Every structure is written in C-alpha cells, then in structure tokens.
Amino acid sequence: MYSQSMTIPISSTDGANADKIHYLREADRIGKSGTGRFRNHRESLENRINELLMELEKRNQSLYRTVKAREEIEIQLHNIVGSLSTGILVADLRGKIIVFNREAERITGLKASRVLGRRVAVTEGLTFLEEGQCKWHSLLEKEQNVEEEMEILRKGEDPAHINVKAAPMRSPGGGKIGMIMTLQDITRMKRLEKQANRSDRLAAMGEMAVKIAHEIRNPLGSIELFASTLKEDLENSPSCSAVLDHILTGVRSIDTIVTNMLLFVRPHQRTEFDTVSIHEVIEDSLRFSNHLVKSNEGVEVDRCYCAQPLRVLGDPELLKQVFLNLILNALQAMPKGGRLTIYTRRRGEPRYGQKLIEIALEDTGTGIAEKDMHKIFNPFFTTRDGGTGLGLAIVHNIVNAHNGNIEIRNRSNKGTRCSVSLPEHQKD
C-alpha cells in the first residue's frame, strides 16, 4: 500500500476571506486603541471643564462679594448723605437732579420723589437757584466754587435764609461730570445776628438815655419844687394857679418819660427771678386793659391757651408790662373793631436742646408799614400821635433780660402777629 500525501488546494475565495478577517482584526485593534485614546481625551476634557467650573464659581463668588460690598457702601453713603444737616443737591451736566437728600427736602419744602430726574431750571420751588451767581449754565462754565446767600419763600412759612455753595463734580480722570450744591439753612443765625445788632444798638442808645435822664432830672426837680412853692404863694390867683398846674403837669409828663427811659435801660433791676405762671400774667394784663377793650366797641379777645401750665423764671411785674404794652398796641391798631387772639404753646428747638414757651398775639388791625418794620424797636420811634416811642423798646429789653426773644411781623391776610418766646422753667 502506498502512502500518498494530499495537497488541499486553496481557492481564491478562501484567500479573500482571510484578508477580510485580517482587516477586521486590525480594525478592531485600531478601534480599541482609538476608543482608549478618546476615553482619555474625554476624561481629560471633563477634568478641565470641572476645573474651569470651579474657577468660574470662585470668580462668581468673588464678584458677588464685590457687588455686595459696593451695594453696602452705596447704602451707607446714601444713609450718610441723607443724615447730613446740610442739604445736598447733585445734578449732571444737563442739570438733571440725581441726589436730593432729606435736609434739602426740609429746606426747600420739596419731596425728593418729585424732583429726582427733573432739571433744576424747570423744577418749581428750585427756581431761586437760577438767580444771582447760581444760574446753572453759568456754574458749568466756572471752574472755581461759588457761594451766595439768598432768601427763599416756602408755602405757608416765613421766608428762609439759606447759604448756597456750588462746586463742579469731577470724574476720576478729572473731567467735569456735573455740579454739587450744598444748601445751609442760616435763618436762625440771621435772626440771632439781627437780634445782636439790635441789642448793641439799643445798648448804645441806653447809655445815652441814662446820661440824658440824669441831666434832665436835676433841673426838673427844681422846676417842680419852684412851681409847687409858687402855687402855694399864688393860691388866691386862679389864673396864675392854672398856669402853674400846666407846668406841674408837664413836669410830671417829662418825669414819666424819663422813668420809662430808665426802665428801657435797666429792665432787669431785680436780679432774683421767681417762678411765674404765664397764663396768670396774661390774665392780669388783660384785666388792666379791660376798660380799653370795653371802650373800643367791636373788639373781641379770644384765648387759645395751652392745656398744661406754662411757667418761666422771671419778674411778674415786668412781664405784665410786656403783655400790657403788646395788648394796648393791638387795640390801638383796631380803632374800628376787630379780633385779638392770644395763643400759648410749648415748643422746642430740637437741634439746640431748648424748651421754650411761645406767646403769640394776633390782631386784625392795620398792620405795620414794611418801611417801618426794622425801626419798631428803636427808642422814640412811633407812628402814633402822642406816643413816646418807648413802649416796644422797653418790651424788647424786658424780654431780652428774661433770655427770651420777640418777633413782630405782618400777617399774610390782615393785621400783625407778635411772638414772644421765653425759656420754660421745669420744676425739679
């Protein structure tokens, strides 16, 4: 038996399959390798994204803290500006108001909600800023600060004096971006200056009055003595006696004027003051003037007293003279009848820690001519026939001796309002 080797022929088809298998295996190997690299890239990318997200979170937190801090600073600055005792007005280059604090509201009588976003030049109630050196357009052209005092009128209130300062507002780069104005209410300071000037003037006149009184009283006493002696000697001569009566009457009249002059100079002769009820003093003054009230037909007196007792440290007799003079002045201003209203109230000066009592007398009389208003406290100034002109001068000095203040002004409708303010006395 013969062994015989066999050769199996490979067809072309089998060769093609082998190639395919080889390529498939190679592709699988390459695919697995690519998947690994892709996975590595993806993981690397995810890690980078996570790092960026963490960095972004840190930056967001830092930005949030920065914004929060700025908001707190803005709130703090807003509170500081709002709490200042000086009015602050800030406007941009177009004159549009962007800051208007509480003190500016109080001084001008305007609400911030009404003026913010509006232009200064066209805002009712701020037109006074377009007067004098404070015109907006002229301010923008100036590089230096501007300061000016002016008077403003507020609805339902007395005129107010304010000090206005304007300065350019600049950016960090130095460019002008707007204007800052400060408004300072100097009404009380002006009033005190006026009172001080008036007191100095009256003090100088008072020194002169003392000398005049001394020089007059010496010969006056002699005239009265000689006239009295002559009257006794000429008792049987009616015509001469009548002339001497006229002389003696004139002497007494001059002596009264001299006495008033001395009272004007030295209203606080008593150094020890007592506790005085203001309501009792006013009622006593009204009783003394009651006959004049009754004789002046058509005059009515109204009392609007504070419900609580009001007391001051003072001299009751001198205070009676104050209110008696003021009541008589009011009655004389209403020759055809009218109404006299007397108000009392307790009021405070919160900025200055004072507790005051205000006594106001309002009449419906003829009022005071504006040209005479600044002279009414001057000695010997009078517009009434037969008046000495010492009444209000004496009143002023008595009130001043009690550390008080007196103001007289015409009412808006008719008549005069006289206001006396005295320090309140609190019992321990």
pLDDT digits (tens, 9 = 90+) for 48-81: 888 888 888 888 888 888 887 777 777 776 677 6
How many beta carbons lie within 10 A of that of residue 243, not counting itself? 15
- pLDDT score of 183: 86
Q: Which residue has the tokens 């009015």?
A: 87
Asked whether 127 and 119 are in contact (CB, 8 A), the reply is no
- pLDDT score of 418: 92
| pLDDT exceeds cutoff 60 at 2 | no
| pLDDT exceeds cutoff 60 at 11 | no
| pLDDT exceeds cutoff 90 at 343 | yes
| 190-244 per-position pLDDT tens digit | 777 776 776 676 667 667 766 777 677 778 777 878 778 887 777 777 777 777 7
Extract the runs of DSSP E, i.e. beta strands, from 154-207: 160-170, 176-185
| pLDDT exceeds cutoff 80 at 87 | yes
Both tokens of residue 56?
Answer: 């972004």
- pLDDT score of 409: 87
Q: What is the mean pLDDT of the segment spanning 27-51?
A: 73
Could you tell me which residue, 208 or 148, shows the higher pLDDT? 148
| pLDDT exceeds cutoff 90 at 254 | no
CA distance 172 to 371: 53
Residue whose C-alpha is closest to residue 275's, from 315, 308, 307: 315
**Domain locations along the chain:** 83-186, 193-266, 271-428
Both tokens of residue 152?
Answer: 């403003």
Q: What is the mean pLDDT of the segment spanning 404-418?
A: 86
Q: What is the mean pLDDT of the segment spanning 368-381?
A: 74
CA distance 425 to 404: 12
Asked whether 214 and 199 are in contact (CB, 8 A), the reply is no
Both tokens of residue 182?
Answer: 């400060």
- pLDDT score of 360: 94
CA distance 392 to 396: 6
- pLDDT score of 281: 92
Q: What is the mean pLDDT of the segment spanning 242-268?
A: 69
Both tokens of residue 53?
Answer: 């997200």
- pLDDT score of 160: 79
CA distance 161 to 157: 12
- pLDDT score of 71: 73
Partnered with residue 341 across adjacent β-strands are 302, 362
Could you tell me which residue, 69 or 154, shows the higher pLDDT? 69
Could you tell me which residue, 367 or 39, shows the higher pLDDT? 367
The 3-state DSSP class for residue 160 equals strand
Secondary structure letter of residue 367 according to DSSP: -
Asked whether 401 and 317 are in contact (CB, 8 A), the reply is no
Question: What confidence category does residue 340 fall into, taking pLDDT thresholds of 50, 70 and 90?
Answer: very high
CA distance 223 to 252: 11
Question: What confidence category does residue 351 fall into, taking pLDDT thresholds of 50, 70 and 90?
Answer: very low
Q: What is the mean pLDDT of the segment spanning 23-30?
A: 68
How many beta carbons lie within 10 A of that of residue 260, not counting itself? 19
What's the residue count for the chain? 428
Residue whose C-alpha is closest to residue 233's, from 223, 225, 241: 241
Q: Reading across the β-sheet that carries 405-410, which strands appear in turn?
A: 299-304, 338-349, 354-363, 416-423, 405-410
How many beta carbons lie within 10 A of that of residue 385, not counting itself? 5
CA distance 402 to 271: 11
Residues 6+ apart with CB under 8 A from 268: 315, 318, 398, 401, 402
| 265-298 per-position pLDDT tens digit | 555 454 568 899 999 999 988 888 887 777 777 7
Q: Which helix (H) or strand (E) holds 406?
A: strand 405-410
- pLDDT score of 105: 84
| pLDDT exceeds cutoff 70 at 112 | yes
Partnered with residue 92 across adjacent β-strands are 178
Which range among 70-74, 123-127, 346-350, 365-369 shows the weakest confidence by mean pLDDT? 346-350
- pLDDT score of 1: 43
The CATH classification of domain 271-428, taken from the options 3.30.2130.30, 3.30.565.10, 3.50.30.10, 3.20.20.70: 3.30.565.10
- pLDDT score of 280: 93
CA distance 163 to 152: 11
The mean predicted confidence, pLDDT, of the chain is: 77
- pLDDT score of 6: 46
Residue whose C-alpha is closest to residue 363's, from 394, 391, 319, 326: 326
CA distance 95 to 168: 12
- pLDDT score of 344: 94
Both tokens of residue 315?
Answer: 């001299």
CA distance 79 to 356: 31
Asked whether 94 and 178 are in contact (CB, 8 A), the reply is no
Global model pTM greater than 0.75 = no
Q: Reading across the β-sheet that carries 160-170, which strands appear in turn?
A: 97-100, 87-92, 176-185, 160-170, 146-152
| pLDDT exceeds cutoff 70 at 4 | no
- pLDDT score of 305: 93
The CATH classification of domain 83-186, taken from the options 3.30.1330.10, 3.30.450.20, 1.20.20.10, 3.30.70.141: 3.30.450.20
Asked whether 107 and 162 are in contact (CB, 8 A), the reply is yes
